[in-house]
Amino acid sequence: MNSNLFDTLNHAWGTIGPRMLEACVEFAAYVGTAHALITFSGTAALEATLRGLCGDDPDAEVIAASYGDPRAASVAKAIGAKVVFADIDYDTGMLSPASTAKKLSPHTKAVLVESLGGNAPDITALGGVCGAEKLVIWLPCGVGTALSGGFAAAVCDLGAASAVDIGAGALAVNDTALFSRIFAYHNCGRPFGERETLTFGNAIIGGDLRVAEFPCALLPDALAQAEDRLAARRAAYAKAASGDWPCAGLSPLRQSGISSAAELWLGCDRIRCGACHAPAARRGYTVLPTYEPLHRKPLFGELADDDFPNTCMAESGYLRIRL
């Protein structure tokens, strides 16, 4: 059993407790950034990050991929930003630098780059387009994805899909001023170090994105086991990716570095050929549902397909396999 977890019962159980503060330091050391923050979920971490970048600007725009986990664009909309969709590159399934360049405006405060299935995005190319200080890397499959290049923040879901599962979320940043804003937004407006005062003296109106102590107590053990879990995942990925697929057009999506290998995403160059899904399932793979194009959803304004040709191809051309 985890003695750290049970020992937590003997202290305060929440609101910036000692386990949470220790976990933040440990996570920053693990990912190699100056600061980290553990929150109650991955979307909570994303919300704190986007609020830190967008502030209270009513005209703030956040660029997000039109294909992927709907939570990223949801959070951008939830904070009141205008969600501007850019297309993906079909061979990576991730945000296209070229499409992103077309969507930039003076109001762009953040560019959300999702790691599809744990795949490593091309951060360098995207940073070259929009500036590293706007890049938010969204890692819905948790830790282990190579992040080569500068970025404003990396945000992880530390849930069941992650090699580090504590039922929480985390963000990692280097910029101290940004971290201070993020911390205040996540802690009811209180700056770092002011735990429970009722008078804040801080112009930031914050929410509550705090994590309880219990998940944080699990982090040391989870981090210690992470490399073994990632190695096992990567071995499974390599085996599956080299599989003898029945459709000749099928190949793993391209990525720009080491993956967390949570899922295997494959793209078919014979769109709608129909030869991929059933044989994969017959070979014992768990085929997961792929995403619906986000730009078409009423929630995001039901945009026409014209700007999103690769997303439309992905709708029927991708195969997603759980490892």
Partner 1 sequence: MGKLALYGGKPLREASWPSWPVHDGTECRALSRVYARGVYRVGEESAAFARQFADFCGARYCIPVANGTVSLELIFRALGIGRGDEIILPPYTFIASYSAIRFVGATPVFADISPIDYNLDPDAVECAVTPRTRAILAVSVGGRPVDYDALSAVAEKHGIALVGDAAQAVGASFRGTDVASLGTAASISCQNSKNLTCGEGGIITTNDQSLYEAVTAMLSGGDDTHLALDSGITEFGAAILSAQLARLPAQMETRSVNAAYLDELLTPFGFVAPLPADACVTRNAYHLYFVRVLEDRLGGVSRDSFLRAVAAEGVPISSGYRPLYTFPGVNEPHDCPVADRIAAHEASWITQNALLSARGDMRDIAQAMEKVYACLDELREGK
Binding site for partner 1 (CB under 8 A): 1-2, 5-6, 9, 12-15, 17, 40-44, 70-71, 74-75, 77-80, 157, 159-160, 165-169, 188-189, 198-215, 218, 297-299
CB-nearer residue toward partner 1: 5 or 236: 5
Q: How far is the CB of 204 from partner 1 (least distance, A)?
A: 6
CB-nearer residue toward partner 1: 134 or 210: 210
Pairing state of beta strands 250-252 and 263-268?
antiparallel
39 bridge partner residues: 169, 210
Q: How far is the CB of 171 from partner 1 (least distance, A)?
A: 14
Identity at 63, one-letter amino acid code = I
State the Cα–Cα distance between residues 246 and 252, nearest whole angstrom. 14
Q: How far is the CB of 274 from partner 1 (least distance, A)?
A: 26
DSSP E strands: which ranges in the chain?
35-39, 61-65, 82-86, 108-114, 135-139, 153-158, 168-173, 250-252, 263-268, 286-288, 318-322
Q: Ramachandran region of residue 122, left (φ > 0), alpha (ψ -120 to 50) or beta?
A: beta
CB-nearer residue toward partner 1: 56 or 246: 56
CB-nearer residue toward partner 1: 41 or 256: 41
Listed residue (281, 261, 235, 22) closest to 119, CA to CA: 261
Q: How far is the CB of 258 from partner 1 (least distance, A)?
A: 26
Question: How long, in residues, is the chain?
Answer: 323
CB-nearer residue toward partner 1: 30 or 291: 291
